[in-house]
Amino acid sequence: MYSYDYLKKISKFPHRGSCSENEKKASKSIYNEMKALGFENILMQKFKTPKDCMYNLPLQFGLLILISGVFLLLNIHSLYLSLFLLIPILMIVFEANGSLVEINFFPKYDSQNIIAYDDYDDNKPTVVITGHYDTQKGSLLFSPKFEDKLQKLFNIAYLGLITIIVSIIISTILDRVILPIIILDLIGIIITTIVIVFILYCNITGKYVNGANDNATGSALTMALSRHFKENKFSDDDFNMIFLLTGSEENGSKGMKAFLKKWGKALDKDNTYFIVIDNVGAGNITYLDGEGMIIKKHYNRFLKDLASKFKKEYDIRYNEKLLLPTDSLPVINQGFKSISFLGKDEFGNIENYHWYTDTLDKISSKHMENIENFFIDYINLLFEKLSNKSNNRIFNNER
């Protein structure tokens, strides 16, 4: 088993914050490890992205909506404000749905993906094994004491934004501002201001975490699986395998989006399967049903059914969806087949999530060995099913 050794190598960096120098150093280390395995193609895909989008993007669209609410009180015509609101609304919609189209006004910095594969044949099924290697910024927002209140904070933030938006829309329809609308708008302004100040404080005071679980585990397993299937291929003739380690996932899956922008048209959507590994260093292996904060998008049914077959052997669990998305969101947004795996405790939480305790000493080599065995068995079963030509027509129609 190789994953724990790779985990130790990735976790040696103090952090791998998105777009940071440490992320760049980690990418070079991963690149060299993958190159040593002898892949015919090993690529470093570079791209540009804003930093700390988890904090900065809400600040951007929140501030734009807040300004609209203030302008309404200053008697700026609501029709103009409604048109102005299209910018932050589109920012939210694009981000929440994993769209490759994005609106972000912050400066962009360097990040990178590592891609490894052998020969690629358009006529063969393709399996993409992927995990991100960058880490998030820990702050009061992700404090263990605050963890169970995170959903409530999101709901309060949505309430403030929606209140301002509704106030402007109603004023546009009425073509005037009445007292109840002013009161409603003031409530939205107060709530949104408090949330913006809180997120700004978290962004300023936060520091990047080591990220042994999130997501050195997914990266280490992607590397370990690449080594396993490089040395013990299920079939040299029947499948394409791509091993993808993404940067800047914590910025809103920017690495995966960069990969899809460049490779999406070359991959067959009906015959490409993404397996996303994220946060699996503790708890039970859990596969999700789907993602999407506005409209839920379901993972591929075939991939979920395969995972369920390991319920007894590996105690595989099932969960509806996460509060925050994984790299699967832009994948399914583009119409590809995908599934994400995470590790969750008995309460459905991810241990040490975006917190300073997310370090190597919290993860056991025995646990990693068990997870590695599961993914080997899962991928082998996927290959076996794809080899069955009589079933392949059915599977290709299931999204």
Query: Which residues contact residue 92 at a Cβ distance below 8 angstroms, ignoring those fewer than 6 apart?
Result: 61, 294
Residues of the chain above pLDDT 70, percent: 96
Query: Which residues contact residue 189 at a Cβ distance below 8 angstroms, ignoring those fewer than 6 apart?
Result: 66, 69, 70, 73, 160, 164
Every domain of the chain and the residues it spans: 3-51+112-139+210-396, 55-104+147-205
For the residues 261-275, what does the mean pLDDT come to? 95
pLDDT at 53 over 80: yes
SS3 state at 137: strand
Q: Does the 3-51+112-139+210-396 domain belong in CATH 3.40.800.10?
A: no
- Residues linked to residue 46 through DSSP beta bridges, in sequence order: 112
Band the pLDDT of 234: cuts 50, 70, 90: low
DSSP 8-state assignment for residue 144: T
Rounded to the nearest 10 degrees, how much is the dihedral formed by the CA atoms of 127, 275, 376, 312?
-130
- Residues linked to residue 2 through DSSP beta bridges, in sequence order: none
Q: Which ranges constitute the DSSP H helices of 149-206?
A: 150-174, 179-205
pLDDT digits (tens, 9 = 90+) for 191-228: 999 999 999 999 999 999 999 999 999 999 999 999 99
pTM, to two decimals: 0.92
Angle at 217 between CA 12 and CA 136, to 5 degrees: 75
DSSP 8-state assignment for residue 212: I
The rounded distance, in Å, linking the Cα atoms of 221 and 371 is 8
pLDDT digits (tens, 9 = 90+) for 107-153: 999 999 999 999 888 889 999 999 999 999 999 999 988 877 888 88
pLDDT for res 250? 97
Band the pLDDT of 395: cuts 50, 70, 90: very low
Band the pLDDT of 393: cuts 50, 70, 90: very low
